[in-house]
Homo-oligomer: A and B are copies of this chain.
């Protein structure tokens, strides 16, 4: 099964990458862009036939490696 994990910084956590992008956008004349935040998407294939089992497996991966639960939220999407 294919899975997609969206990892975003928790609200309130400072996002220097987002700030840098916002500054660069303003420099290019996009002055109406604000609240820019950058996150990650990880796409992977899990060798499971059951969607619930795949989700549990991916959740375990998030907790152990993919996300930093102190600073980041993650959202798992099982595709097919």
Contact = CB atoms under 8 A, between A and B. Distances in A.
Interface string A21-51: 1101100101011111111111111111000
A11 B37 CA distance: 25
A9 to B, nearest CB: 10
Interface residues of A, number: 32
Contacts of A34: 44-45, 47
A40 B41 contact: yes
Contacts of A21: 42, 65-66
Contact of A41 (B28, B38, B46, B60): B38
5 contacts: A21-B66, A25-B65, A32-B46, A33-B47, A37-B43
